[in-house]
Amino acid sequence: MTCFHPPFTAGIDVGSTQTKAVLLDVSARIAGTAIIDTGFDVDAAAHNVYARLLAGAGLCADAIHTVAGTGYGRFRIAFGDLQVTEISCHARGAVHLFPATRTVLDMGGQDTKAIRVAADGGVIDFSMNDKCAAGTGRFLSAAAAVLEMPLDGLAAVAATGCNPVTISTTCTVFAETEILAWVARGKAINDILLGAHQAIASRSLALLKRVGLQPAITFTGGVSRNSCMVDQLERLLGSRLQVGEQTPFAGALGAALFARDRLMGLQQAVLP
């Protein structure tokens, strides 16, 4: 089947926890997004999120000119045309969403990255967490698991805390033990969760300081949907973060933009 549409480009971000996809039209407008849990089968996750992206936009694969992959599973996207590092993609995506961006904090399930960016979305400098998975979304996942709570419910509970505990460990595995110890001491769950959010925010601030806190700062990655994390980061920074509905998709968006670069370059090559 052949689809008669202007050419689109797509970006697929295969992360350790979730796989995201973004569709761009020729004007670089977001024409669709999709997100699924990655699960154990990275290949299936890439195919499934792409199928969901196309179905949501009412398109077939013939309408997509170029597909770019990013994330830790980018080389497993068999139908991809190019692969780009997630650092470059989050930088590019953040600047596309918020042109004033000069620093990016990307917090995902596996790692956290602080990125200094240029006005065109190019990477100037970056730093990644190096202490197990502390300061990442996995830290929150561990807290949710040990407290037997849904991950998407943590922010609302943590926001009601008044006396946050101190989470001192730098390893997610030991964080579970520390959280259980606070429970055994009779500390309130909301105060424990608020302490966990503050610990992650503090480690993220240290990363940002390594690359230089150049405003404006954009918060990307799956954890950017966590309102309590946004609040705690803004408290430490003393300024507002740029964050919105599309910031969790910044990596996939950046990949789609790199795919669009290839499309536009190929189109220009055949012009007289």
The closest of 98, 101, 74 to 11, measured between CA atoms, is: 74
Superfamily of domain 1-98+245-272: ATPase, nucleotide binding domain (3.30.420.40)
Q: Tell me if 1-98+245-272 shares its fold with 100-241.
A: yes
Both ends of the chain: CA-CA distance in Å? 30
Determine the Cα–Cα distance for residues 46 and 272; give it in Å rounded to an integer: 37
Per-residue pLDDT of the chain (272 residues; tens, 9 = 90+): 455 567 999 999 999 889 999 999 999 999 999 999 999 999 999 999 999 999 999 999 999 999 999 998 999 899 999 999 999 999 999 999 999 999 999 998 778 999 999 999 999 999 998 655 555 778 888 888 889 999 899 999 999 999 999 988 767 777 788 888 999 999 999 999 999 999 899 989 999 999 999 999 999 999 999 999 999 999 999 999 999 999 999 999 999 999 999 998 866 554 44
- Give the C-alpha separation, 127 to 71, whole Å: 16
Whole-structure pTM value = 0.92
Q: Could you tell me the residue ranges of all domains in the chain? A: 1-98+245-272, 100-241
What's the CATH code, domain 100-241? 3.30.420.40
Strand bridging mode 18-24 / 30-37: antiparallel
Provide the token pair at 13. Answer: 């971000």
Strand (E) positions, the chain? 8-14, 18-24, 30-37, 64-70, 82-83, 103-107, 112-117, 123-128, 217-220
Q: Tokens 């971000």 label which residue?
A: 13
